[in-house]
Each structure stands twice: as structure tokens, then as C-alpha cells.
């Protein structure tokens, strides 16, 4: 469109007319509606051979008059000389009036001016104004913008917004992803300025963008998997190829994120989170769940379900809360690579510690509960001045030994020290395994989150899923052990150990 012009309202500006009486409508009806629309200042028509809709419309305009200018391009004159069909429209060329040549002549007669010439200097006068108030025909598609500009300037039509910049690309959105890193700078345009009212509309949309994807019926459809009867696939990759060339962990990363691990480092980190999740001993709630189920004589799958049924926000799901917590502090920062040092991490952690202290004091004064920071402290690893979860430490050391960092895990280590320094805690709490799992998977998902290729909901759920898969596999081990060596109903608490907290009453 000409500079300063935009589609003339919030409604679609490209409408198909004619051809099919069942689903479309004649051109003259469209022109009648366009004339009544106060936002429509100029009409552009792309015309093909076939039908007499254009002649009907011209006849109507000649009889009743028409108040809005039209720019017309008529395609398909080659069909006049050759016995060929030009798409759906060309299939219904039934008379001389249906040809492209006849339509060109009809429009030129209506406009009262020869077709637009790109190199001609049009002198503005009353005759040109009167003529262009009806419109003009162009002989090439790429002349439409220049012809529209001529009409707009000649008739003094007000533009949607002023044109103060030279004609050049002004992309509203630029998201080249990984490609942008390898393209030369002259091929990577920066995002331009979005004019109003669109800027505020875009801002409103971006505030909720990717909190949920476009919904559709998914009974027989999946992005994650497919099978054409010959090859099962995970996000397009052949399952057989994955079996031959990649690991189970790589397959899981692909299935959960939609992309294979970027490198062996991320693949190993993901694997470590599953191994660390296998068990923390038979006394854990999840291990007790599978042992109870086995003691009752259940099957392996039921016992593993019992393991999963014991997981929740407190046990196993705290990593999901940690991702939400981390995104509150890092979600709006321009961090490209979470594995590179970020100098402001310590400052962010100290700020978070101060905010928590203030929230805790206010809650205590009001006598109400306050929201804890997820993934700090552990019921087992808590007796020393400085406490560590040994499983988290293995992951943390592996990251550092690789010459990298994880800014999210660094944040948690600075945070526990900050809470000790500001008096919130009397000792340095352990950064527990749930935090490590959350930080590892947030790092893996970070690029997709940043490029808006992954929903926040998915990023929050993946650490919980990783822990659950590891713990369910560990539950299978507990099932096999208890089945081999335990006795039926051995998890039952003897009556002698049970305490009644109400006194007997008579009916």
C-alpha cells in the first residue's frame, strides 16, 4: 500500500466475489457495501477471466453513480488467444464479455482515462480529479501502490497516519531465532516502530501471548507423535532413527520440549536430574506409597501409580513452583544464554532475600501465613551451619567443571546466603534437588521460552514431570524388592500403635 496507508478498518480487506453462487456474492453487492463503509476510502480489484460480474457492477455504477475510486488490475489476457483455463474463474468463460480483454475495455470506458503509466507525469487539474474520482486501471500488479498514491494525492484523501519516513522495511516483529546468529547484519533487520492504534493492541496481546496455545480438537491429532502406518515419529523424527543414533534421555528431551538436546552437556544434565530423582531412601513418602501398594498385593503398574499418587506440590512438585519463582525475576531480562556468567545475579538474589524478609515480617505482624521460597532447605540435610543437598552438589559441580554456569542455580546459592546475611535464617539452607531440577530444565527450555516457542505452563510442568518419571522408575525398584522380600500386609500399622483422638460415644 502507499506510504501512510493501512487496511481501512479492523475488518478483512481482501474479499472474494462472484464465481460460486452458493458461497460468494456478486461484485456489485460488494461495491455497494464498500460504499456504505465510512472507513473504506479506496477499492482495489484483482479481476480474472470468467463471468459477467464486472460488467454488472459497471452497469450499476453508471446508472446509480459511485462515490469511491477504484484501482483495477485485470489478469489473464493470454487466455484470449489460447485455449487454456486460468484456474476456477477461467473455467467459466462463456461469452465475449467474460474475456480479460472485454473487462479491460469496460473498466477503461467507465474510468474515462487510459491505463495507468508508471513513467507518466500526471498534472493535477479538475479534469484529472473528476476522472480519478472514478478510478484507473493498472497494467501490472506492482503498479497498484503507485496508482493508489496518485488517486490519494489527487483527491486529497486523508491517510491513516502521516508518512514522514522514506519507503523501507519497517518490520513490526523480528524473530529469526538461531538463524539470526549466523546471518550478516545487513540481512537481520531490527524491529521497527509500531504506529498507533496497533502499538497498544500489540502490547495488550503480548501480555497474554503464549499463556495458552490455540485450541483445537486433538482426539486423533498430536504434535508430539505421529504414525503413517510405517514409521512412528516423535516431533517428526523417526523413532527407529532415534533408537539407532540417540539415547533414551535425548528422546525424552525431544518428547517434552519438541527439540533434541543442543549438545551432550544438556543431555547429561537432563539425565542427572532423572538419576537423582530415583530415590532418597525407603522412608520417603513416594517410596512408602509403592511399598504400601506392593504390601496389598498389587501389580507393578498399580504400585508405580501409587508412587506417582504420593507426589504433590510439597513432595516432588516444588520444582514447578521454583520455575515460576525464577521467571518472576528473570523472565523480563534480556538473557540470551543461561550458561554464561551474568554479573547481576547476586544483586537480584539479595533483592529477592530482602523482599522475602519484608513479606515474612508483615505476615507475622498480621498473624497470617506467608508464601515460602520454593526448594530451600531439606528435612535430612539441615544440621550444619552451611547445608548442602549432595545430589544438587553433584549437578552444580558438573556444571562448573564443564566451564559453564547456570545463572538460575547461581541465583539460589546467592539467595540462601542472602537470607542468612539479612537474618531471615540462622544458617545457610540447602539448595535442594528440586531447585537443581528446576534450574537445569529451565536452562534447557530457555531459548524456546525466550523466542516464544514454548508456553510458560509447559516450562513449569517439565521439572515436575522429570522428577515424577525418575521417582516412578525408582518406585519400580522398590516394588520388585518388596515383592521379593516383604510379606503380605506388612505395611499395616498394628492396632497397638494407633492412637484414638476422640473418646467413645454411645448412640
Residue-wise pLDDT tens digits, 11-61: 334 565 655 544 566 889 989 999 999 889 999 999 988 888 899 999 999
What is the per-residue pLDDT across 188-200, written as a single tens digit (0 to 9) for each? 888 888 888 888 8
The confidence score (pLDDT) of residue 173 equals 84
Whether residue 151 contacts residue 128, with contact meaning beta carbons closer than 8 Å, is answered with no
C-alpha cell at 48: 480474472
Distance, in Å, from the CA atom of 436 to the CA atom of 318, rounded to the nearest integer, reads: 11
Query: Which structural domain range is residue 399 located in?
Result: 285-485
Whether 376 is in a domain gets the answer yes
Say if residue 146 is in the same domain as residue 294.
no
- Does the pLDDT of residue 308 top 70, yes or no? yes
Whether residue 456 lies inside any domain: the answer is yes
More confident residue, 64 or 210: 64
Whether 108 contacts 80, CB under 8 Å = no
**Tally of CB atoms within 10 A around 270:** 24
Between the CA of residue 247 and those of 250, 264, 474, what are the distances in Å? 5, 11, 19
Mean pLDDT of all residues in 454-479? 96
Q: Supply the pLDDT for residue 238.
A: 97
Of 105, 131, 155, the position where a domain reaches its end is 155
- Considering the chain, what is the average pLDDT of its residues? 89
Looking at residue 311, its pLDDT comes to: 94
Please state, in angstroms and rounded to a whole number, the distance separating the CA atoms of residues 194 and 202: 9
CA atoms within 13 A on the CB side of 424: 26
Q: Would you say 154 and 135 are in contact if contact means Cβ atoms under 8 Å apart? A: no
CATH number at residue 125: 3.40.50.261
Which of 2-11, 53-62, 188-197, 381-390 is the least confident region? 2-11
Q: Calculate the alpha carbon distances from 258 to 212, 218, 250, 255, 406 in Å.
A: 16, 17, 11, 6, 22
DSSP line for 190-211:
PP-PPPTTHHHHHHHHHHHTTS
Span 165-187, pLDDT tens digits: 566 778 888 878 778 778 888 78
CB 104 within 8 A of CB 73: no
Other beta carbons less than 10 A from residue 479's beta carbon: 24
Which H, E and C letters describe 325-392, residue by residue?
HHHHHHCCCCCCCCCCCCCCHHHHHHHHHHHHHHHHHHHHHHCCCCCCCCCECCCCCCCCCECCCHHH
For residue 362, pLDDT beyond 60: yes
User: Which residue do the cell numbers 460488467 mark?
Assistant: 55
Q: List beta partners, residue 44.
A: 71
The answer to whether 6 touches 160, Cβ cutoff 8 Å, is: yes
Last residue of a domain, one of 122, 155, 188: 155
Note whether residue 123 is domain-resident: yes
Task: Please state the pTM of the whole predicted model.
Answer: 0.64
Q: What are phi and psi of 314, to 5 degrees?
A: -80, -45
CB environment 437-471: b (16+ within 10 A), e (fewer) = bbbbbbbbbbbbbbeeebbbebbbbbbbbbbbbbb
Within-domain flag for 197:
no
Structural domain includes residue 187: no
Residue 365: pLDDT over 70: yes
Split at pLDDT 50, 70, 90, the class of 83 is low
Give ∠ CA 287-288-294 in degrees, rounded to 5.
Answer: 95
C-alpha 365, offset from chain centre: 42
pLDDT at 89: 47
DSSP lists the bridge partners of residue 376 as 431
- Residue at a domain's end among 107, 133, 155: 155
pLDDT: is 117 or 205 the higher one? 117
In a domain, 121, yes or no: yes
Same domain, 437 and 291: yes
148 and 289 co-located in one domain:
no
According to the model, what pLDDT value does residue 468 have? 97
**Predicted pLDDT at 224:** 95
Angle between helices 456-485 and 318-330 (to 10 degrees): 160
Residue 32 included in any domain: yes
The residue to which cell 452458493 is assigned: 22
The pLDDT assigned to 8 comes to 42
User: pLDDT band at residue 279, thresholds of 50, 70 and 90?
Assistant: very high
- Report whether pLDDT(10) > 50: no
Contact 24, 14 (CB under 8 A): no
Mean pLDDT of 254-276: 97
C-alpha grid cell, residue 364: 507475622
Domain count, the chain: 2
3-state secondary structure labels for all residues of 447-468: HHHHCCCCCHHHHHHHHHHHHH
Q: Is residue 236 included in any domain, yes or no?
A: no
Amino acid at each position: 500500500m502507499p506510504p501512510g496507508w493501512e487496511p481501512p478498518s479492523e475488518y478483512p480487506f481482501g474479499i472474494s466475489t462472484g464465481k460460486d453462487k452458493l458461497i460468494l456474492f456478486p461484485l456489485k453487492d460488494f461495491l455497494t457495501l464498500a460504499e456504505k463503509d465510512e472507513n473504506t476510502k479506496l477499492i482495489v480489484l484483482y479481476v480474472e477471466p470468467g463471468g459477467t460480474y464486472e460488467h454488472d457492477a459497471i452497469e450499476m455504477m453508471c446508472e446509480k453513480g459511485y462515490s469511491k475510486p477504484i484501482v483495477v488490475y485485470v489478469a489473464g489476457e493470454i487466455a484470449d488467444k489460447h485455449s487454456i483455463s486460468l484456474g476456477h474463474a477461467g473455467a467459466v468463460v462463456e461469452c465475449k464479455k467474460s474475456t480479460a480483454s472485454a473487462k479491460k475495455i469496460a473498466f477503461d470506458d467507465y474510468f474515462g482515462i487510459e491505463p495507468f503509466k508508471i513513467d507518466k507525469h500526471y498534472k493535477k487539474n479538475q479534469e484529472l480529479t473528476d476522472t480519478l474520482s472514478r478510478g484507473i486501471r493498472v497494467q501490472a500488479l506492482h503498479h497498484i501502490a503507485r496508482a493508489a498514491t496518485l488517486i490519494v494525492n489527487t483527491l486529497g484523501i486523508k491517510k491513516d497516519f502521516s508518512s514522514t519516513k522514506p519507503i523501507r522495511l519497517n518490520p513490526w516483529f523480528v524473530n529469526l531465532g538461531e538463524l539470526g546468529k549466523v546471518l550478516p547484519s545487513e540481512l537481520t533487520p531490527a524491529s521497527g516502530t509500531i504506529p498507533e492504534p496497533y502499538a497498544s493492541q500489540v502490547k495488550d496481546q503480548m501480555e497474554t501471548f503464549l499463556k495458552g496455545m490455540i485450541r483445537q480438537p486433538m482426539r486423533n491429532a498430536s504434535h508430539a507423535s505421529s504414525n503413517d502406518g510405517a514409521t512412528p515419529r516423535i516431533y517428526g523424527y523417526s523413532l527407529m532413527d532415534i533408537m539407532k543414533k540417540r539415547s533414551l534421555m535425548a528422546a525424552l528431551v525431544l518428547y517434552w520440549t519438541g527439540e533434541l538436546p543442543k549438545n551432550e552437556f544438556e543431555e547429561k544434565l537432563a539425565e542427572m536430574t532423572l538419576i537423582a530423582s530415583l530415590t532418597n531412601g525407603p522412608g520417603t513418602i513416594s517410596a512408602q506409597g509403592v511399598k504400601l501398594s506392593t504390601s496389598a498385593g498389587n501389580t507393578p503398574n498399580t504400585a508405580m501409580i501409587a508412587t506417582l499418587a504420593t507426589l504433590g506440590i510439597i513432595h516432588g512438585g516444588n520444582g514447578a513452583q521454583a520455575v515460576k519463582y525464577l521467571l518472576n525475576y528473570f523472565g523480563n531480562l534480556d538473557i540470551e544464554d543461561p550458561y554464561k556468567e551474568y554479573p547481576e545475579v547476586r544483586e537480584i538474589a539479595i533483592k529477592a532475600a530482602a523482599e522475602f524478609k519484608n513479606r515474612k515480617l508483615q505476615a507475622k505482624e498480621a498473624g497470617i501465613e506467608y508464601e515460602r521460597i520454593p526448594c530451600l532447605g531439606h528435612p535430612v540435610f539441615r544440621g550444619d551451619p552451611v547445608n548442602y543437598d549432595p545430589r544438587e552438589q553433584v549437578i552444580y559441580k558438573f556444571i562448573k567443571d564443564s566451564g559453564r554456569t547456570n545463572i538460575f542455580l547461581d541465583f539460589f546459592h546467592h539467595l540462601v546466603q542472602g537470607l542468612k546475611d539479612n537474618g531471615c535464617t540462622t544458617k545457610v539452607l540447602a539448595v535442594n534437588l528440586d531447585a537443581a531440577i528446576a534450574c537445569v530444565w529451565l536452562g534447557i527450555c530457555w531459548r524456546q521460552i525466550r523466542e516464544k516457542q514454548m508456553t510458560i505452563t509447559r516450562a513449569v510442568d517439565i521439572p515436575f514431570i522429570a522428577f515424577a518419571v525418575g521417582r516412578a522408575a525408582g518406585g519400580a525398584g522398590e516394588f520388585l524388592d518388596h515383592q521379593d522380600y516383604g510379606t503380605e500386609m506388612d505395611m499395616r500399622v498394628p492396632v497397638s500403635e494407633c492412637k484414638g483422638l476422640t473418646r467413645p460415644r454411645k448412640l
